[in-house]
Structure 1
Amino acid sequence: MTEHLKRRTMMMTISCRWICSMRILIGKIAHLQVK
Protein backbone atom coordinates (compact mmCIF):
# COMPACT_ATOMS: atom_id res chain seq x y z
CA MET A 1 0.00 0.00 0.00
CA THR A 2 1.43 3.35 -1.04
CA GLU A 3 1.72 6.33 1.32
CA HIS A 4 -0.72 8.35 -0.80
CA LEU A 5 -3.37 5.64 -0.60
CA LYS A 6 -2.87 5.29 3.15
CA ARG A 7 -3.35 9.01 3.69
CA ARG A 8 -6.41 9.02 1.44
CA THR A 9 -7.99 6.13 3.36
CA MET A 10 -7.29 7.91 6.65
CA MET A 11 -8.98 11.08 5.39
CA MET A 12 -11.99 9.09 4.15
CA THR A 13 -12.37 7.35 7.51
CA ILE A 14 -12.05 10.62 9.45
CA SER A 15 -14.58 12.41 7.23
CA CYS A 16 -17.01 9.46 7.50
CA ARG A 17 -16.81 9.55 11.29
CA TRP A 18 -17.18 13.35 11.28
CA ILE A 19 -20.29 13.17 9.06
CA CYS A 20 -21.77 10.47 11.32
CA SER A 21 -21.22 12.53 14.49
CA MET A 22 -22.63 15.65 12.79
CA ARG A 23 -25.74 13.70 11.77
CA ILE A 24 -26.24 12.47 15.34
CA LEU A 25 -25.81 16.04 16.63
CA ILE A 26 -28.30 17.44 14.11
CA GLY A 27 -30.72 14.63 14.97
CA LYS A 28 -30.51 15.44 18.68
CA ILE A 29 -31.03 19.16 18.07
CA ALA A 30 -34.01 18.48 15.77
CA HIS A 31 -35.48 16.12 18.38
CA LEU A 32 -35.16 18.81 21.06
CA GLN A 33 -36.80 21.41 18.83
CA VAL A 34 -39.74 19.08 18.08
CA LYS A 35 -40.53 18.86 21.82
Structure 2
Amino acid sequence: MITGAAQMDGGILVVSAPDGPMPQTKEHILLARQ
Protein backbone atom coordinates (compact mmCIF):
# COMPACT_ATOMS: atom_id res chain seq x y z
CA MET A 1 0.00 0.00 0.00
CA ILE A 2 1.25 3.47 -0.85
CA THR A 3 0.63 6.02 1.88
CA GLY A 4 0.55 9.75 1.40
CA ALA A 5 -0.33 9.50 -2.30
CA ALA A 6 -2.07 12.50 -3.83
CA GLN A 7 -3.57 13.36 -7.18
CA MET A 8 -1.91 16.14 -9.13
CA ASP A 9 -4.22 19.00 -10.10
CA GLY A 10 -1.90 20.69 -12.58
CA GLY A 11 1.40 20.49 -14.37
CA ILE A 12 3.96 22.60 -16.20
CA LEU A 13 5.12 21.72 -19.70
CA VAL A 14 8.43 23.27 -20.76
CA VAL A 15 9.42 23.13 -24.43
CA SER A 16 12.68 24.46 -25.85
CA ALA A 17 12.05 27.29 -28.30
CA PRO A 18 15.01 26.47 -30.60
CA ASP A 19 14.52 22.67 -30.51
CA GLY A 20 10.73 22.49 -30.36
CA PRO A 21 8.86 19.53 -28.86
CA MET A 22 10.82 16.30 -28.57
CA PRO A 23 9.35 12.98 -29.79
CA GLN A 24 8.44 11.86 -26.26
CA THR A 25 6.51 15.09 -25.48
CA LYS A 26 3.22 13.66 -26.76
CA GLU A 27 3.75 10.51 -24.70
CA HIS A 28 4.42 12.56 -21.55
CA ILE A 29 1.23 14.57 -22.10
CA LEU A 30 -0.81 11.39 -22.51
CA LEU A 31 0.65 9.93 -19.30
CA ALA A 32 -0.02 13.16 -17.39
CA ARG A 33 -3.68 13.11 -18.42
CA GLN A 34 -4.29 9.66 -16.93
More helix by percentage: 1
Same fold (TM over 0.5): no
Q: Provide the TM-score with structure 2 as the length reference.
A: 0.34
Tell me which structure has the larger Cα radius of gyration: 1
User: Relative contact order: is structure 1 or structure 2 higher (C-alpha 8 Å, sep ≥ 6)?
Assistant: 2
Q: Provide the TM-score with structure 1 as the length reference.
A: 0.33
